[in-house]
Structure formats: C-alpha cells, structure tokens
Chains A and B, each alone.
Chain A
Amino acid sequence: MTAVLPSRPQRPEGGRLIDQFEYGLDAPICLTWELTYACNLACVHCLSSSGRRDPRELSTAEAEGVIDELQRMQVFYVNVGGGEPTVRPDFWHLLDYAIGHDVGVKFSTNGVKLDKVRAAQLARTDYVDVQISLDGATAEVNDRVRGAGSFATATRALENLAEAGMKDFKVSVVVTRENVSQLDQFKALTDSYGAQLRITRFRPSGRGADVWDQLHPTQAQQRELYAWLLANGDNVLTGDSFFHLSALGESLPGLNLCGAGRVVCLIDPVGDVYACPFAIHENFLAGNVRSPGGFQQVWQNSELFADLRNPQTGGACTKCAHFDACRGGCMAAKFFTGLPLDGPDPECVQGYGETALAARDLGLVTPKSSIDHSHKGPVRGQPTLLGMPSIPVKACDESPLAGLTAG
C-alpha cells in the first residue's frame, strides 16, 4: 500500500449501493472481533493460526472500551471469534456488556464450553447469535481437519442448544474439497437440531495457506457448489463469501464485492485492526485500537483503508466480461497465493486463476504472515490430515465407557 496518492476518485451521488460501498462507510457493517488467539483445537486450516494466547491481548477493561466505542459508532453487532472466544474467562461478561450497550454479538465457537447451563443462559439472552463450527457432516470428515473428538464436542453443544430451546443458532461450515459432497448431509444434520446452516468459503489464510492446495474445492466442485447454492441458497447463509462464483452466471444473493476495509474489518486479540479477518498480515494492518483515537480513528482515517476504498480500475480483471459479477474475487485469496491483487482470484471460475497460478514465478515465495500463535507441540486430538503425531484422546473424555469393549 503506497503512501501519498495525488487525489482519490470522488464518491458518486446516488447510484447502486454496491458502488457506494466501494467508497467505504463511516463505520463497518460487518466487524469481526477475535477475542483471543487461545484455542483448545488445532484445526489444520485455521484462518488466524490460533492456538496459544498472546500475552498482549486486550484486558477486560480495554475490551469494554472497544465496546463503548462501537456503541458510539453505531456498530449494531459484531462477529466474535478467535481462537476459541469462550476460553477467555471474561467471555460471558463481555457478551453481557456488549448486549447491554446495543452491540449485538454473533459468536463462533467449537462448542467446548457450551454445556447445558451455558446453553440455557444463551437461550434466555436476547440479541445473541451462536455459530458452532463443523467442517464435516460426519466425525470422520470433520475430525481429520478439526481434530479427534471435535465432532462429538460440536454435536453435544448443538444438542444442548436445541434442548434449551435456543432459536436460530447456526452450524458454520467452511467448504473444502473433502466436505463439499456433504452439503445435503450438513443441511439434514442442521435441520435435525432446528438450526440454520451457514457455509463459507475456505481461504488460504493463516494455516489455511499450508493446506490450501490439498483442501480448496476443485473447479468441478466449485460448479457443483454454485448449483447447490442456486437451488438451496434461500435457506442457507453464506456471509456473501462465494461471490467469486457469480461469474458462472446468475448473481448469488448478497453483496457481490470484496468488503475489506470498506464495509468489513477485523480487530484481532491484541487490538490490531486488519482489513478483513482473512488478511492477518502486516500489509493489511491499518492500526491498533489502543492508539490515540481508538478504533474510530483507524477505521475512518487509516491510509490503508483509504487506499482500499476505491473502485478497482486497472488490472487484468477489469477487462473481463464477468468483472461486474465477481469484481475480481477475494483479496486475501489472491494475496496468500502470491497473485497480484488486481488480477484474478485463484479460484476464478472462468479459469483465469489457474492460468495465473501456473504462470507464477517458480522461485516465488508466497507471502506468509509473521503472526502465528499455533500450538508448538502436539495437542490432544491433533487433526490427522497432515499425518502428524498426536496425543491420543483419553478414553474417558467422551464417556466413562468409551473405547472399552464389554468383555
């Protein structure tokens, strides 16, 4: 991101909303706030390379300060994640604090803390949304990437929420090569808990970069996914994350635009503000909420965000007949696969991404984030995708009789 630009194009009067969004908003619509890098799991594709808590993470008082600011800016809700946000001892306090200050909370969790008591508490709480992450409709597919026992943990949380009478909770799925064929199964599983299915795009961010070649859906699978979304899209949430598929023809519902720094951003656990949750890299770091002026100053005045708040005018994609449909796709996906930001998305459904990937310099080292909180040693229930050693799950973690065969 370059420093001084002579002048920036002026925002047009009126016109389509999507054109207005390209010039940014006074406050984000979709703000993700990762409360901690600590996580009990070690998912192979973690977008934030989470695992270990960072000692510089925002204190309770600082987090409350951020919430006060979001209320002043009229950010009506935040997407809370991590790491595993519920392992922060003050998570439940911050949840109540946010709701008490007109900032609704949608939080993502692997379900580890959602016992019957917490599920009942959530069911009683207005203005909170829960998403349970699941990346396989079966334990076999899920646990390979999220770790042994993680399917059981997630489904137990889903049972608890359903039993407590929680409404509108979500099952959140990152679509991969290994689970894309399970979409109908995911829908059935979700329906069985009275929950709602949310599927989002897998990006090569964080540890996702290490397994992207292995896990990102093939071109044929992208077309299957597109057909599935057209057939089922009304009943499935997507976070508008599949807009690159719109270049296959019919536009998908939602915002078909990269919102990074325009309508979307991330506050990370240490207060750093990035253009998007999938862009934890110094190139997309706009500032820190601890600096003078706080989050508002970063959102409204950072040089980086000003640069992002322009329509894309150059580059290979602008000459493509489908540019208006996909707007060049996902910035993070391009960046972490070493593609130019004004060129095609690596998963461009017109095939330009594959060509661009093939044309990369053989000596190219793809950009890697220096921010890595991954567990350093093996963790219990290590995912098996990478064939790394793991600490076996203790038999009694599941049930006192698990793994024991009757004699």
Chain B
Amino acid sequence: MTAPAGPVVDVEFDPALPWQKARSVALRPEPFGALVYHFGNRKLSFLKSKMLVAVVTSLADHPSAEATLVACGVPEAQRPAYAKALADLARSQMITPRESA
C-alpha cells in the first residue's frame, strides 16, 4: 500500500478557477445521482442530483467552475449550494484545479 497521491492539502476552492474531476476518480451512475470513488485515497462520496453529476463531469470543458454551473443550467438560486458541494469535493480531492483554462 503506497501513500495516497501526495500529502493531504487543504484545497481552497475558488469557483472562478478551472477545475476537473480528478484522474483517479470514478463515477458510478445511481438513480439519485452518482457514487464517486477515489482510487487513490479510497474515499467514497455521493453526488445527490443528476445535475451535480453533469456539473462534475463537464468541469473540464469550461473555463471555470462558475461557468460550468451556468452552462449546465443550474438555477441561480441553487448555485451557492452547488458551489458548496464542489468545495466539499475539492476537499476530498475528488475534483482538482486545472492548470489552464
């Protein structure tokens, strides 16, 4: 058993930056959304809506997390809740910052 991908750093989630689903993360579709599994740190998490699944899987296609929320049609009132969900996913390394936009 080797150490999980590097030391655990407290990733500050900035929705204005480009993000992506981490490479070692797999998504399993479920009726309510999806189950997320990180093969490196073996954390298990859940995406509680299909819209959040769409957001996470398309993060890499947009210049920022904010832009992804807009592109996926997340209603404005729900965007803070989605940003919080993404921040949680960043903390558990399910999503990682992307180098360029």
Beyond A11-B32, A23-B31, A76-B37, whether A168 also contacts B44 by CB under 8 A is no
**Chain B residues within 8 Å of A358, by CB:** none
**Taking the complex as formed, is B79 at the interface, i.e. its CB lies under 8 A from any CB of chain A?**
no
Does A231 reach chain B (CB closer than 8 Å)?
A: no
Residue B3 CB within 8 A of the other chain: yes
Question: Contacts A29-B35, A76-B44, A102-B39: A125 and B1 contacting too (C-beta < 8 A)?
Answer: yes
A129, B4: Cα distance in complex, Å = 13
In the bound complex, how far is the Cα of B29 from the Cα of A74, in angstroms?
9
Are A14 and B49 in contact, CB atoms less than 8 angstroms apart?
yes
B46 touching A17 by the CB < 8 A rule? yes
Q: Is the CB of A27 within 8 A of B28?
A: yes
Q: Min CB distance, B76 to chain A, in Å?
A: 18
Nearest B-chain residue to A27, judged by Cβ: B28
State whether the Cβ of A167 lies closer than 8 Å to any Cβ in chain B: yes
Residue in B2, B28, B48 whose beta carbon sits within 8 Å of that of A74 in the complex: B28
Residues of chain B within 8 A of A104, CB atoms compared: 39, 42
Task: Give the complex CA separation of A213 and B93 in angstroms.
Answer: 46
Contact across chains for A20 and B28 when beta carbons are under 8 A apart? no
Number of A interface residues at 8 Å Cβ cutoff, please give it: 24
Residues on the B chain within 8 Å of A127, using CB: 1, 39, 42
Q: Does B22 have its Cβ within 8 Å of any Cβ on chain A?
A: no
- Asked if residues A76 and B39 are in contact (CB atoms below 8 Å), the reply is yes
Residues in A with CB closer than 8 Å to B26 are: 74, 76, 102
A26 touches B1 (CB 8 A): no
Q: How far is the CA of A76 from the CA of B37 in the complex (A)?
A: 7
Q: Which of A23, A25, A122 has the most CB of B within 10 A?
A: A25
A168–B42 Cα gap in the complex (Å)? 12
B interface residue count range (under 10 / 10 to 19 / 20 to 34 / 35 or more): 10 to 19
A26-B3 contact in complex given A14-B49, A77-B42, C-beta closer than 8 Å: no
Chain B residue at minimum C-beta to C-beta distance from A16: B48
Is A128 in contact with chain B by the CB < 8 A criterion? yes
Q: How far is the CA of A122 from the CA of B1 in the complex (A)?
A: 7
Bound complex: CA A74 to CA B25 (Å): 12
Please provide the chain A residues from 137 to 176 with a CB less than 8 Å away from any CB of chain B in the complex.
166-168
**Chain B residue with the shortest CB-CB distance to A77:** B42
A134 contacts B by Cβ under 8 Å: no
**Contacts of A125 on B, CB cut-off 8 Å?**
1
Q: What 0/1 pattern do residues 11 to 51 of B give for CB contact below 8 A with A?
A: 00000000000000010111110010101001010101100
A126 within 8 A of B: yes
B29 adjacent to A26 (CB under 8 Å)? yes
A199 within 8 A of B: no
Cα-based distance from A123 to B3 in the complex (angstroms): 11
Given A123-B1, A166-B1, A167-B1, A26-B31 contact (CB < 8 Å): yes
Q: State in angstroms the CA–CA spacing of A244 and B2 once bound together.
A: 36
Q: Is the CB of A128 within 8 A of B1?
A: yes
When the two chains form their complex, are residues B44 and A26 in contact, meaning their CB atoms are under 8 A apart?
no
Is A167 in contact with B32, judged by CB distance below 8 angstroms? no
State the Cβ distance, A152 to closest chain B Cβ, in Å.
Answer: 25
**15 sample A-B contacts, Cβ–Cβ < 8 Å, listed by A number:** A11-B32, A25-B35, A26-B28, A26-B31, A29-B44, A74-B35, A76-B37, A76-B44, A77-B42, A102-B39, A104-B42, A123-B1, A125-B1, A127-B39, A167-B1
Nearest 10 A/B pairs, CB to CB: A74-B28, A76-B37, A20-B32, A167-B1, A25-B30, A26-B30, A126-B2, A17-B46, A11-B31, A126-B1
